[in-house]
Each structure stands twice: as structure tokens, then as C-alpha cells.
Amino acid sequence: MISPRLQDALNKQINAELSSSYLYLAMAAWFEAEDLKGMAHWMRVQAKEENGHAERIFDFINDCNGRVSLTAIEAPKAEWKSPWEAFEEAYGHEQKISAMINELMNLAGAEKSGATHDFLEWFVREQVEEESQVQLIVSKLKLVGDNGVGVYLVDQELAKRE
């Protein structure tokens, strides 16, 4: 059983994870329109991963005899000035999600919910990995700037994501 406060916070995290998925799908659509198929592929994979995170929390709430409550997802923006700008936004977004996970960890501790705390440890590790991956892409895109060959090479690299 989880407390009402913890249940509400976990439901908000589900919404945040689904919002992340929606944002990354919007970015994939923009990359597709810009003929950057590798970056679009990377974002589609990321969107699926975020959806999986939401489902993981969904299942945890149900396993704890809680109640899942899905709320509206705000529409993401649809245009970016450059691949660098899109990935910079993705990086900032991942930092925001990490902060939310950390707050959930703090709440789980305050509510003395060891099961929730243990469950969230996976998300803490996952966010370290996600921030690191996106930050590396941002660094590469910053390095190549507007150089078309450089952007092309980064695009080709991102197409290989499994």
C-alpha cells in the first residue's frame, strides 16, 4: 500500500514520462521533416523508452493496490531552429525529469516507503544514463555547429541506436 501523497506524486511522474514520450515524438517528426532520419530514429527509440518508464510506474502503483490516474498531456512544440537546439531542449528536459525522480525519492523516504524507494533506484540510474547520452549528442552537435558534413555524420551515428 502506498500513501495518497506518494500515489499522487507517482501519477504525476507517469504524466511526466508520457509527456517526455510526446515531446520526443514531436522532435522525431521535426527531424523527419528536416530529412535527418537518424536523429528521427533516435528520438523514436527514446519516445518508446519514456513510454516504457510510464508503464513501469503504472504497474508499480497497481502492484501496491493504488489507483492510477491519467491526466491530460500538454502539446509539445513542433519546431526547432537546429538539431543542436532540439537536443539541447531534450537535455534540459532530462534534467527536469531527474529532479522529479529525486523529489520522488525524497518523498518515499519521508513517507517511509522502502518499496517505493527501492523501485525508484532503477529510475535514478536510468536518468544518469539518459542525461549522459543526450549531453554527449549536444556536445557533438555544438562541436560541428552548422557544418553540414558534421551534422550528417552525427545523424548517421544516431541512426544506429537500437
What pLDDT score does 43 carry?
Answer: 98
Please give the model's pTM, rounded to 2 decimal places: 0.94
Q: What is the mean pLDDT of residues 91-102?
A: 98
What pLDDT score does 29 carry?
Answer: 98
Q: What is the pLDDT confidence band of residue 50, given thresholds at 50, 70 and 90?
A: very high
Q: What is the mean pLDDT of residues 105-123?
A: 97
What pLDDT score does 8 carry?
Answer: 98
CATH class of segment(s) 4-158: mainly alpha
Q: HSE (CB half, 13 Å, CA atoms) of 46? A: 30
Domain segments of the chain: what residues? 4-158
**How far is the C-alpha of 78 from the C-alpha of 108, rounded, in Å?**
35
What pLDDT score does 1 carry?
Answer: 83
